[in-house]
Amino acid sequence: VLGELPRLRNDPLRLFTEAASSGEDVVRFRAAYRSVFLAVGPDAIAHVGIHNRDNYVKGVSYEALRVPIGDALLTIDGSTARERRRLLMPMFTRRALETEVPTMASAVEALFERWDELAASGAAFDLVSETNRLAFDVVGRVLMGTEVGSDMAELEALIADASGWVARRTRALVPLPPALPTPRNVAFARARRAIREFADRLIAARREAGRDDIVTRLVEARDEGGRGLDDVQVRDEVIGFLMAGHQTTGAALAWTWYLLARHRDAQERLAHASDIVLDGGRPGARKLDLMPYLGQVVEESMRLYPPGWAFTRTPLADDEVGGRAVPKGSIVIVSSYANQHSTRFWDEPERFDPERFAAGRREAIGPYDYFPFGVGPHVCIGKLMAELEAKTALAMVARRYRLELASPVPVPPTPAITLTPGAPIRVRVRRRSA
Ligand code: HEM
């Protein structure tokens, strides 16, 4: 009766990876009364994501997100999304974000204050709560020019609560209406109200202060017809960025440090490169470009553990993909995790090997073999911000600390909305000699 629903819910990583290694371009699963398709082959993904994109909406994985975020770029489709993206894009170009690297470095220096104490005491700590805190601090500083003070810590907790609610709802078989006063829905409604009030206060302060951060630019953005965003749209975009940029980048950093702690040779090589290039100073975007191995490590980490591990699309009309009939209303899944772990596209896919991304080899990797930031017109708008942030943090931490795992037990990934570590990653840090 349920078809593959139990495995889809309980073990999608293995189910999708096996399907992506089967040689079929599109694999069909039956999940109770719905058909679910995994698009694997390059032509199938390009068809759904690019060539026939007007026939697809974002679908089921975004329905729950729409409850806290409303209609922001993250959740909208079609021509509205195209217009919104055009309006927002200037804030996410390389030119705009390069200037934010010193801001990102300041957030890493705030982390140093905590880690220096942890290094001195030798205490083990949970890496994931640290990386989430850092990622939220960066998003807060870059978006709003605000440090994580006590009120930002409260906002981080509220955003984490809302994300948890969305994750549970996305997994639920038959989600109950959000207005039903269950304890979880009541707690979520309270969190959503607090987040909205917080965002409204921030935006009001920006309107008065004339500062130069992304929220200010959002408030001032105008399209060719001179139209801007109204107060609710600005608020929903801010909440969308906070939710999209927090646990994703936090998870990317946690997985990368986890891999580096397990591969001492890579960690030492990075520390050496960082020592030479940074030479005691802070990184800037140009300096980060001078560290190719840093980029390779980030790319290989996001191959093995892509935080945005899968996304859905739903066809508005019947379609044919990779020779298979895909009826309107079905669920089409595209999974970076599955393709990036597939033996069809990778040799020894489970092995950590940053050399896969070295110059000369990187060029041979196809756009549908590796896509941690998605494909086509909805590709992540925050990609450069996340990459610059991850590289800044990794380069600065590499030259200051040696990371060790406090437990040899491997940490499995958990596929919620983001691919998060399924258990705390306990680590210790030691200061490297100056
Ligand atoms: C390592 C960090 C990140 C990863 C792995 C990631 C991953 C992704 C992926 C896979 C998509 C495409 C989803 C789809 O096609 O349905 C996406 C879209 C998006 N991301 Fe990210 N993301 C990251 C960081 C960020 C940051 C820092 C921001 C903003 C501050 C952001 C904002 C967005 C938005 C607004 C979209 C929707 C774009 C659209 O539909 O046009 N992301 N992200």
Q: Are 195 and 68 in contact (CB under 8 A)?
A: yes
- In this prediction, residues 220-234 reach a mean pLDDT of 88
Q: Let me know: does 223 contact 83? Beta carbons within 8 Å.
A: yes
Give me the helices (H) in 23-171, please. Answer: 42-46, 60-63, 66-69, 78-88, 94-98, 101-121, 127-144, 150-171
Higher-pLDDT residue of 169 and 385 is 385
- Residues forming beta bridges with residue 39, ordered by sequence position: 26
Beta carbon of 199 within 6 Å of any ligand 1 atom: no
Pick from 143, 130, 175, 326: nearest CA to 243 = 143
Identify the band that residue 432 occupies on the pLDDT scale cut at 50, 70 and 90. very high
pLDDT band at 252 (very low <50, low <70, confident <90, very high): very high
Q: Is the pLDDT reported for residue 219 higher than 90?
A: no
**Average pLDDT of the segment spanning 299-324:** 96
Q: Indicate whether 190 pLDDT > 70.
A: yes
Q: What is the mean pLDDT of residues 139-166?
A: 79
Could you report the per-residue pLDDT of 18-75, keeping only the tens digit for each?
999 999 999 999 887 788 999 999 999 999 999 999 999 998 888 888 988 989 999 9
Across 112-123, average pLDDT: 97
How large is the average pLDDT for residues 316-335? 95
136-164 burial by CB neighbour count: b if 16+ within 10 A, else e?
bbbbbbbbbbbebeeebeebbebbbbbbb
Report pLDDT digits (tens) over 71-95.
Answer: 999 999 999 999 999 999 999 999 9
Q: Which two tokens stand for residue 284?
A: 């800037």
Name the pLDDT band for 221 (thresholds 50, 70, 90): confident
Q: Is 249 in the pocket of ligand 1 (CB under 6 A)?
A: yes
If you average pLDDT over every residue of the chain, what do you get?
Answer: 91
CA–CA distance, 411 with 407 (Å, rounded to integer) = 10
pLDDT: which is higher, 39 or 175: 39
36: helix, coil or strand? Answer: strand
Of all protein residues, the one whose alpha carbon is nearest to atom 21 of ligand 1 is: 380
Taking alpha carbons only, the member of 330, 295, 300 closest to residue 314 is 330
pLDDT (mean) for 360-364: 95
**DSSP notation for 59-98:** -HHHHTTHHHH-SSTTT--HHHHHHHHHHHGGGGSHHHHH
pLDDT band at 199 (very low <50, low <70, confident <90, very high): confident
Compute the distance between CA of residue 346 and CA of residue 280 in angstroms, rounded to an integer.
Answer: 38
- Please state, in angstroms and rounded to a whole number, the distance separating the CA atoms of residues 414 and 410: 13
Q: Residue 32 has what pLDDT?
A: 75
CB contact at 8 A, 256 and 301? yes
Answer yes or no: is pLDDT of 145 > 90.
Answer: no
Task: Give me ligand 1 centre to Cα 428, in Å.
Answer: 31
- Residue 421's pLDDT is 94
- Cα of 51 from ligand 1 centre, angstroms: 20
Please give the distance, rounded to the nearest whole angstrom, from the Cα atom of residue 336 to the centre of ligand 1.
Answer: 13
- What percentage of the chain's residues is helix, strand, coil (to nearest 5)? 55, 10, 30
**pLDDT tens-digit profile of 375-394?**
999 999 999 999 999 999 99
| pLDDT computed for residue 356 by the predictor | 98
Q: How far is the CA of 248 from the centre of ligand 1 (A)?
A: 8
Q: What percent of the chain has pLDDT over 70?
A: 96
More confident residue, 365 or 67: 365
Range among 143-147, 245-249, 397-401, 430-434 with highest mean pLDDT value: 397-401
- For residue 430, how far is its CA from the centre of ligand 1 (angstroms)? 33
* Of 384 and 217, the one with more pLDDT: 384
Model pLDDT, residue 253: 98
Q: Which residues contact 319 (CB under 8 A, 6 or more apart)?
A: 52, 55, 325, 326, 328
| Predicted local confidence at residue 173, as pLDDT | 56
Tokens of 244: 């999209």
**pLDDT above 90 as % of the chain:** 70
Residue nearest to atom 34 of ligand 1 (CA): 74
What confidence category does residue 149 fall into, taking pLDDT thresholds of 50, 70 and 90?
low
Lowest-confidence pick of 90-94, 180-184, 265-269: 180-184
What pLDDT, on a 0 to 100 scale, did the predictor assign at position 214? Answer: 82
Mean pLDDT of all residues in 413-433: 93
CB of 374 shorter than 6 A to ligand 1: yes
Rounded mean pLDDT of 303-322? 96
Compute the distance between CA of residue 172 and CA of residue 63 in angstroms, rounded to an integer.
Answer: 12
